[in-house]
Amino acid sequence: MTAHAEHNTRDKTASDNQDVAFWKDRPVLVTGGSGLLGGWLVKRLLSARARLVCLVRERMPHPGVVAPDLLRDAKLVQGEIRDQTLLERTLKEDGIDTVFHVAAQAIVGMANRNPVATFETNVQGTWCLLEACRQISGIRQIIVSSSDKAYGEHPELPYREDMALLGLHPYEVSKACGDRIATSYGKSYGLPVSVTRCGNFFGGRDLNWNRIVPGTIQAICQGKRPVIRSDGKFIRDYLYADDGAAAHMHLARRLADDRSLAGEAFNFSHEVRITVVELVEKIAQLMGSSLAPEVRNEASQEIRTQFLSAAKARERLGWKPLHSMEEGLRATVQWYRKYLTTT
């Protein structure tokens, strides 16, 4: 083991120990625990021995996203994120201390087709949750998951947290609205809420095959050319979902010690600028495949260039990702290979 690798291992071990000390027996609510980010967050919180409550919809679209053995160790509350009465009852009856709000309609194409449903979930759902938290005493930390899409299109990049939120299309607008509602509750009512803005999450447990990472891996495993809906030149910011989960927990832990973080937003990113075609080629290389992507150039109402600066999170929170982007991609490929050969 190199000195650098040994140092990273020590850092991860120390962080894990701190997590267990902070989270052990802490009553935590996760909304959207059956989604990609939510699933990884559930995994980390259970590993840290939190007392976990998950709000899930009665019909989960992808029941394999969160492994049954994880759900077995969490209390499930079935219902809609817009049900404020249910949220208040759950917060009170379970004595919730910390809330992670990651529930969302997260598919851009679906948002374009069904804007009202997207606004109801992503905007109304956010104010219902925050108002429920305002009505119930004892909530100490609330982390609301926004998105880099909330920034919209800017002439200057990378995105920084002091930039205006200029989203135009339904998904972008829904995330920008939820984002501003969260910061409003923090600044206006002193609610202990902070916002995360991350790029595109990738990682195992994502069974939405229309997304570029799982779709590419599935196609290559089947001996087919991976499909790129855009022209392949869109630049995106990607974050390994396990790093995203760890970042949310890190922010909550810091918010517990520093209430000045309430109403603040933070970008989290590997800070790797990569085109879609470069990402697909990287995955193919990791899989030992020479299959060239099929570029369809069908994407519409999407921002061409997006990437984040995580300088504020590094400087104010002492945050850094636990994995490199390549390490995350390798682990993701391994997860899907195993999943696709056993299902």
User: Which residues are catalytically annotated?
Assistant: 171
Q: Give the orientation angle of helix 325-342 with respect to helix 241-257, to 10 degrees.
A: 120
Residue 43 CA to residue 298 CA, distance in Å, equals 36
* C-alpha to C-alpha distance for 130 and 29, rounded to whole angstroms: 13
Distance of CA 33 to the CA centre of its chain: 11
**Cα–Cα dist 206/213, whole Å:** 9
Helix, coil or strand: residue 37: helix
Per the CB < 8 A criterion, the answer to whether 210 and 200 are in contact is no
- Please, what is the angle between helix 3-23 and helix 241-257, to 10°? 60
Neighbours of 285 (CB within 10 A): 11
Instruction: Measure the CA–CA gap between 204 and 245, rounded to whole angstroms.
Output: 13
Q: Computed from CA positions of residues 114, 120, 126, 129, in that sequence, does the dihedral angle turn out positive or negative?
A: negative
User: Pairing relation of β-strands 235-236 and 274-275?
Assistant: antiparallel
Q: How many CB atoms lie within 10 A of CB 151?
A: 27
Look up residue 318 and give its two tokens.
């002492």
Cα–Cα distance for residue pair 243/33, rounded to 1 Å:
16
* Residue 321 to residue 313: CA distance in whole angstroms: 11
Measured between alpha carbons, how far is 231 from 211 in angstroms, rounded to an integer? 15
SS (H, E, C) 193-260: EEEEEECEEECCCCCCCCCHHHHHHHHHHCCCCCEECCCCCCEECEEEHHHHHHHHHHHHHHHHHCHH
Whose structure tokens read 């590094």?
A: 314
